[in-house]
Amino acid sequence: MTQLHLVGQTVVDADEQPTFETWWLLQLRKVKRDLAKKEWDKLSEDERFAAMIGWVAWRPYYARREWEWIPHPRTWLYNKQWTDELPAELVSSHASHQAFAGPEPGERSKMPDHVKALIAKLKK
């Protein structure tokens, strides 16, 4: 049975909640884990959801960059870089790469399938 709970003004499946461990799994540059965890813990549930979806949107961009241009996870969270505009090459390449705006208040939220698929792939 799916459990629901309220995050901000949004109803969310309990099993859809992003965790730090899952977010860390998605990272390309796994440095300063403890600092990233502290920053993650400061985020609201809504921000954690947005950060997870935002990182998946930005990940293809950073995957093509040189190592030194991939942000540290802690820095990315601290600067709330999921709110940055995506480069045109990502926005036009796939509709799911639009910046995460979140559901309307009171609307049920669900982790997008492309995010779940990437997480499942990386867990193997």
Q: Residue 80 and residue 51: Cα distance in Å, rounded? A: 8
Tokens of residue 120, six digits: 């499942």
Q: Which residue has the tokens 């799911």?
A: 96
Task: Report CA-CA distances (Å) from 5 to 16, 21, 98, 99, 108.
Answer: 11, 20, 26, 24, 10
Sequence ranges of the domains in the chain: 16-99+109-123
The per-residue pLDDT string of the chain (124 residues; one tens digit each, 9 = 90 and over) reads 444 334 333 444 445 678 999 899 889 899 999 999 999 999 998 899 889 888 988 988 988 888 889 999 999 999 999 999 888 877 754 444 455 555 555 555 567 777 777 777 777 7
Burial class (CB in 10 A: 0-12, 13-18, 19+), 14: exposed
The model's pTM: 0.65
CB crowding 23-48: b at 16 or more within 10 Å, else e: beebbebeeeeeebbebbeebebbbb
